[in-house]
Amino acid sequence: MSGLEMERLLTVQEVADVLRVSRWSVGRYIEAGALEAIKGDGPNGTVRIPLRSLSAYIEAHTVGPGDQP
């Protein structure tokens, strides 16, 4: 067996629920490069967001004490 581990992949709706934004907003974050996404084959391939990408996005956008919101 190789050292490749399967990472948890989230749907656009799951990411939208976590961030409390619309699916449309998640799509814009992906297009802007703020979130990494994996698209399945074909014109209607499903889009999945790696959990590590969502975690990195949240960490990068977390405002701490003294930061401007």
- Summarised one tens digit per residue, pLDDT across range 4-47 is 678 899 999 999 999 999 999 999 999 999 999 999 888 888 99
pLDDT for 67 equals 76
Q: Residue 28: inside a domain, yes or no?
A: yes
- Assess if residue 56 is contained within a domain: yes
Domain span holding position 19: 9-60
Question: Is 53 inside a domain boundary?
Answer: yes
- Residue 2 inside a domain? The answer is no
Residue 68 resides in a domain: no
Does residue 20 belong to any structural domain of this protein? Answer: yes
Which CATH number characterizes residue 47's domain?
A: 1.10.10
Whether residue 69 is contained in a domain is answered as no
Quote the strand ranges of 1-69, DSSP E.
Answer: 9-11, 38-39, 47-50
Give the chain's domain count. Answer: 1
